[in-house]
Homo-oligomer: A and B are copies of this chain.
């Protein structure tokens, strides 16, 4: 690949060039380091979108794209599908809903499969986010399916993390249980035209009143949206901008980006170490039979090749 030419084409809106660069970076191709240097810099807002299945994440993302495009911004979306470790396949049904933007050269949408790999999100997505920022995208959205670990990882990648809730699912409580509430910067009660929306907002407020905050700390706003009509999107976009400004006014933006980089390095290191220190079938069988305890088995794995 001619790195400089491809980067120039990608900056000019050639989506195939963007795709080629992303693939090279994700796969750790020999050009990856050169690409990283050629695309250094940029100033994107990186927005993570999380929430239980069914709350309307894809529709909201489509709405956000529309709002930012109206302001003339370039928008990229990484849709993370934690695919099954068995089939290796990702199910991308609702990417279809993003078809609205299919012909807009200033919008780039890509599905990223994590292959059920622990830490996979950080490994495959961190460098991709930085690349898209370096290519001149103004907003990079990282969206995931699923609750829990994937959302914690997304929050580590993003500058601003949205947590979507829908009325009537007891979602506020469930989000607390899954430990997702604390990682969000902006709460969004989507499907706000449905019964129970006000109750959901009230629940969230009640929950937040329990969280102790230092003076100067960010207070998460609660936005109400109806993603498929666009209602409330302007307020949400404003809230995202406000959070980004707040971050930039502190050291937190830089801190989050260092944390993101650290997670990426960690993922690559762990991958390499897994190859070096293999758990054999024989050891696993001994532990399963109760003839060997786990700590001793681990010592043998580490000792074998240390």
Contact = CB atoms under 8 A, between A and B. Distances in A.
A285 B261 contact: yes
Contacts of A98: none
A40 interface: yes
Interface in A224-246: none
Contacts of A261: 283-288, 294, 297
Nearest to A29: B295
A104 to B, nearest CB: 25
A288 B53 contact: no
Contact of A265 (B147, B175, B272, B297): B297
A260 interface: yes
Contacts of A297: 261, 265, 268
Contact of A279 (B53, B145, B262): B262
Interface string A264-287: 111011101110010101011111
A152 interface: yes
Contacts of A145: 148, 174, 177-178
Given A52-B52, A84-B179, A254-B288, A298 B150 contact: no
Given A53-B174, A82-B178, A264 B294 contact: yes
Nearest to A300: B265
Contacts of A87: 179, 182
Contacts of A290: 36-37, 39-41, 130, 134
A36 B116 contact: no
A182 B116 CA distance: 12
A93 B173 contact: yes
Interface centre among A32, A178, A259 (most CB of B within 10 A): A178
Given A85-B179, A270-B270, 13 more contacts: A36-B293, A37-B293, A52-B52, A53-B171, A84-B179, A84-B183, A146-B178, A261-B285, A261-B288, A265-B297, A268-B295, A269-B277, A270-B274
